[in-house]
């Protein structure tokens, strides 16, 4: 992942701060006392993702073998990092401060490198959590990227991917972002040619959160749900031509999710009635999306959804180097 850094060092000026008066041969002389530098702060944007295609090929060693095409989108959480004695996390949603992947990522990185550095972390949450957009996983990857910079660890992307794979199947993808083929337990990432600017309309139904939802959904899968990669392969052929055909989308959980989330079928029906060319599921749901090539059509669809009383979001595709890590004084 390309990290775009822009920061300037604080300069001390002779006019800054109080002066220390020193007696020299009975005379006073002034020596400036520079102001202390502000602690360096890193700000990183953690993008959400959608699964253009999500297949499960089978199960091995108690893990499901996924075969999926991930796409990063410009719906982002924002994380801010400063050096500290301990690892601490503050978030406007207190429920997210406990058992959070951000803290787990920081602690794992410290354990792997055998260091005792700390960080004060602030999480500004904009990605709806627990709906299949990968917000928690993206926050974890952003933490690895930011602390690698803040702590001066100089780990490569491949090393960060290896660490990320210990945090969850979606986390490694977010080290790269963009458009990627994701295989195995999520640890095998193959960057793909970026999509041309593509628009997505998201509908996040206000349904009750399900604890351990992703794990529960995977436990419901059996051999009848396994496929042979034909959906991903068809989509890859299309992507190589620089386009995506919405008719090629597929999600293994669509066979299960409407039983797990009562009422979701009604939201899908209303989404279609508003004019969505096709309604797809991302991750293990319940977030629904459709794909449009023109921003104006996306905005028209959102307006129709609003008239139906459905909240929706317009987002667009991101390239891998659209992820931004900024260093500020």
Catalytic residue annotation: 49, 170
Instruction: Write the DSSP symbol of residue 204.
Output: -
What are 66's strand-pairing partners? 56, 184
| 65: helix, strand or coil | strand
In 10 A of CB 221, how many CB atoms? 17
Beta-carbon contacts of residue 20 (< 8 Å; ≥ 6 apart)? 30, 31, 32, 33
Q: How far is Cα 48 from Cα 296, in angstroms, rounded to an integer? A: 22
| Maximum C-alpha span of the chain | 94
Identify the CA nearest to 45 among candidates 73, 74, 72, 76. 76
Say if CB 6 and CB 101 are below 8 A apart: no
Alpha helices, H only, the chain: 101-113, 135-150, 157-164, 171-176, 213-219, 230-239, 257-260, 264-273, 295-307
Identify the CA nearest to 301 among candidates 319, 315, 284, 287. 315
Instruction: Write the DSSP symbol of residue 317.
Output: B
CA angle 262, 266, 271 (to 5 degrees): 135
Residue 215 corresponds to which tokens in the numbers above?
Answer: 């794990």
Q: How far is Cα 267 from Cα 279, in angstroms, rounded to an integer? A: 10
Say if CB 240 and CB 193 are below 8 A apart: yes
Q: How far is Cα 53 from Cα 15, in angstroms, rounded to an integer? A: 61
Say if CB 121 and CB 81 are below 8 A apart: yes
């Amino acid at each position: 992942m390309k990290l775009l850094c822009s920061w300037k060092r604080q300069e001390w000026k002779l006019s800054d701060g109080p002066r220390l008066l020193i007696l020299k041969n009975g005379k006073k002389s002034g020596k400036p006392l520079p102001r202390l530098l502000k602690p360096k702060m890193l700000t990183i944007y953690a993008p959400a993702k959608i699964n253009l295609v999500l297949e499960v090929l089978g199960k091995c060693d108690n893990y499901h073998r996924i075969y999926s095409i991930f796409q990063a989108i410009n719906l982002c959480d924002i994380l801010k990092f400063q050096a500290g004695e301990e690892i601490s996390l503050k978030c406007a949603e207190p429920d997210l401060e406990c058992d959070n992947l951000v803290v787990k990522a920081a602690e794992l990185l410290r354990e792997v490198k055998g260091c005792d550095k700390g960080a004060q972390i602030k999480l500004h949450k904009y990605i709806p959590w627990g709906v299949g957009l990968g917000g928690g996983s993206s926050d974890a990857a952003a933490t690895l990227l930011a602390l690698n910079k803040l702590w001066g660890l100089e780990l490569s992307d491949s090393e960060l991917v290896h660490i990320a794979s210990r945090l969850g199947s979606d986390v490694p993808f977010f080290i790269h972002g963009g458009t990627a083929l994701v295989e195995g337990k999520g640890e095998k990432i193959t960057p793909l040619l970026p999509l041309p600017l593509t628009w997505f309309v998201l509908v996040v139904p206000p349904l009750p959160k399900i604890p351990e939802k992703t794990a529960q959904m995977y436990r419901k899968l059996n051999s009848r749900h396994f496929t042979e990669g034909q959906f991903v392969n068809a989509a890859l052929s299309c992507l190589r031509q620089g386009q995506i055909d919405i008719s090629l989308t597929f999600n293994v959980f669509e066979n299960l999710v409407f039983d797990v989330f009562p009422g979701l079928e009604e939201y899908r029906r209303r989404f279609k009635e508003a004019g969505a060319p096709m309604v797809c599921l991302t991750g293990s749901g319940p977030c629904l999306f459709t794909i449009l090539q023109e921003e104006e059509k996306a905005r028209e669809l959102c307006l129709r959804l609003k008239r139906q009383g459905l909240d929706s979001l317009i987002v667009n595709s991101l390239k891998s180097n659209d992820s931004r890590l900024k260093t500020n004084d």
